Amino acid sequence: MAGENNIIKLENISKRYDGKTVLDNINLYIREGEFVTLLGPSGCGKTTTLRLIAGFIQPDEGRILLDGNDIAGVPPYKRPLNTVFQRYALFPHLDVYDNIAFGLKLRKTPTNEIDRRVRKALKMVAMSDYEDRDVDSLSGGQQQRVAIARALVNEPRVLLLDEPLAALDRKMREDMQLELKEMHQKLGITFIYVTHDQEEALTLSDTIVVMREGKIQQIGTPRDIYNEPVNSFVADFIGESNILDGTFIKDGLVSFIGKEFECVDTGFGENAPVDVVVRPEDVYIRRSQSGTQFSGTVKSCIFKGVHNEILVDTDEGFEMTIQDYNPFEVGEKVYMLIKPEDIQVMKKERTANILTGTVKDAGTIQLLGADFPVSCDFAAGTPVRVEVPFSSVDLMDNLDEGVISGEVHFILYKGNHYHLTVRTDDGDFLYVDTNDIWDKGDLVGIRFSDQDEIRISELQNEN
């Protein structure tokens, strides 16, 4: 990404609110003329990043460079950037014309020049007949067009767009997406676009930056992000996907859903645990066995317009989502095929919960701010590293039954079980494999089962 023509660089940016880290060491380079989308669920820090670039807030750490110059001390009204806000933020006491002319008038632009540029901007957003209208009398879509014209008329180096289409209905949103893309191509200025809508990001962007909890997960073209997500979060967030636990047997061979598949990936080691992503449209479903790799039974089939979405229970006990133009009967025996290039293998972010604690007595270890009953042979007071497999963490409806309690934070379906991220009351994260169905936000009691599976080792002093 680091080229000579970077217009904006974020270097090691961190931002905290009330002790909560909203952005955690963000590094981002944006090329001149690029359409970059910051994509992520709410609370991922994408809007904060945009507001930092606009200058409405200041980073706690790190630098923001514009054309190579640090702009920390430059107030928003001196930055050659303009913003289109989610709720338009038009000035209701001014008509359409004066809203658009606002920035030019402040810069003491000659009247005839203002006139020419405002009319040009109105024409660009197809609002030429509306210049005398009160902004309150316009529809949401029209107001957003005025907001875009008001920003573009100042000929900014970079246009910042904060979920500009979120308040519009679907049809209008799709039309505006195409218009924005056209405008971007015509004007050649840099667009930085914030959205939580992955379809919108895929449609519009040259580059997508996927964010989660203040960290950048992946930067790439829409095609890269869709076809080669770097982790299960990105795979789950962008489009539909089957995310499965697998084992990377050797280069070009991976096993998942109880079968071995040829793949094109290399370099994950031998017999290494991995995550595997297969897009629903990349699973070929047949009624005859010849040439297929595995079989199953149709669990449900829903017509989605262009395609049918079919849930299949494989004979090995995994559930897969498959898209196909043809409908299938529930209960029908079907045969599936996955091509090597359609299998995306990802390194597992972790294979167990790695915790550190202190031995209290022979049957108790102090962990996560509480005393967990875990038997061990180390002397009291020994610092230990505790490895708790995902399946050894038990979640309980009754908070009192747990040693500590927490909240279900993120859910991933892995074909035959759920992989949950649980946030403890102290803010630590635990990862859990379970067959029980939980909802995001459920409060749970947490304890450890399967003592035999928990591995304890003495923590080496690393100093």
Binding residues for another protein, rule: CB under 8 A, are: 54-56, 75-78, 81-83, 85-93, 102-103, 106-107, 136, 150-151, 154
Q: Which is nearer to another protein, 158 or 238 (CB)?
A: 158
Q: What is the spatial distance between Cα 337 and Cα 339, in angstroms, rounded to a whole number?
A: 7
- Pick 148 or 301: Cβ nearer another protein: 148
In the complex with another protein, which residue's Cβ is closer, 57 or 253?
57
Nearer to another protein by Cβ, of 136 and 377: the residue is 136
Q: Select 156 or 222, whichever has its Cβ closest to another protein.
A: 156
CB 314 within 8 A of CB 304: no
Burial 120-157 (b: 16+ CB within 10 A, else e): ebbebbebeebbeeebeebeebbbbbbbbbbbbbbebe
Q: 155: number of CA atoms within 13 Å, CB side?
A: 7
Cβ nearer to another protein, comparing 152 with 393: 152
Q: What minimum distance in Å lies between the beta carbon of 257 and another protein?
A: 49
Q: Which is nearer to another protein, 107 or 170 (CB)?
A: 107
Using CA atoms, how far apart are residues 20 and 169, in angstroms rounded to an integer? 34
> Is the four-CA dihedral 141, 145, 147, 148 of positive or negative sign?
positive
Q: Which is nearer to another protein, 82 or 205 (CB)?
A: 82
Say how far apart CA 34 and CA 45 lie, in whole Å: 21
Closest approach of another protein to the CB of residue 87, in Å: 6
What would you report as the CA-atom Rg of the chain, rounded to the nearest whole angstrom?
27
The dihedral built from the CA positions of residue 372, 378, 379 and 381, taken in this order, carries a sign that is negative
Nearer to another protein, 83 or 205 (CB): 83
Closest distance to another protein from the beta carbon of 8 (Å): 16
Could you tell me the smallest distance in angstroms from the CB atom of residue 57 to another protein? 10
Q: CA-to-CA distance for 362 and 383, rounded, in angstroms?
A: 13
- Residue 78 CB, nearest approach to another protein (Å): 8
Please give the backbone phi and psi of residue 366, each rounded to the nearest 5 degrees, phi first: -85, 120
Contact 275/431 with Cβ under 8 angstroms?
A: no
- What is the smallest separation between the CB atom of 171 and another protein, expressed in angstroms? 25
Neighbouring C-beta atoms of residue 7, cutoff 10 Å: 21
Distance, in Å, from the CA atom of 60 to the CA atom of 51, rounded to the nearest integer, reads 13
- CB of 86 vs another protein, minimal distance in Å: 8
Nearest approach, Cβ of residue 292 and another protein (Å): 55
For another protein, the closer CB: 77 or 325: 77
Shortest spacing between CB 89 and another protein, in angstroms? 4
Distance CA 29, CA 36 (A): 10
Going by C-alpha positions, the residue among 347, 344, 341, 382 that lies closest to residue 361 is 382
CB of 172 to another protein, least distance (A): 20
Residue 191 Rama label (left phi>0; alpha psi -120 to 50; beta): beta
> Of 16 and 385, which CB lies nearer to another protein in the complex structure?
16
8: exposed, middle or buried (Cβ count in 10 Å: 0-12, 13-18, 19+): buried
194 CB contacts (<8 Å, ≥6 apart)? Answer: 37, 38, 46, 47, 49, 50, 160, 161, 162, 163
DSSP 435: S
Least distance to another protein, CB of residue 85, Å? 4
Helix/strand/coil for 42: coil
